Amino acid sequence: MDRGHTITIEQGDRRVRVVHEGRVLAESDRPLVLKETGCPVRYYLPAEDVRMDLLTPSDAHTYCPFKGTASYWSLPDTPDGPPGVWAYPDPKPEVAAIRDHLCFYEVEVS
């Protein structure tokens, strides 16, 4: 990581649930908790715990110098809206743990 910029990834021990317009999109007891300098805490959920059938792939991609290239999905009923879900299919080695995990902008943690 660059000097002054850190990313830590820990195994979470709390249940994370993602609900959009009353529909459960994801629920996991095994989230990864990613903490990054200057960013809010993010929960990365294993793909197996996400209802991928309800998400619409987006053509959008962004590049993060610390994590790599992100792919995005739109939430149900908003295929033309802003993407609400992202993942790093081929993350940088320093954050390899987030491979095969997805992150949502809005989550419930219990």
Is position 110 within any domain? Answer: no
91 close to 67: Cβ distance less than 8 angstroms: yes
H-run or E-run covering 61: strand 56-64
Q: What is the mean pLDDT of residues 67-94?
A: 89
pTM for this predicted structure: 0.91
Q: Give residue-wise pLDDT tens across range 47-68.
A: 999 999 999 999 989 999 999 9
Is position 68 within any domain? Answer: yes
Measure the CA–CA gap between 101 and 46, rounded to whole angstroms.
4
Is position 65 within any domain? Answer: yes
Give me the amino acid identity at 20. Answer: H
Is position 58 within any domain? Answer: yes
Is position 59 within any domain? Answer: yes
The domain of 94 spans 7-102
The CATH number of the domain holding residue 45 is 2.170.150.40
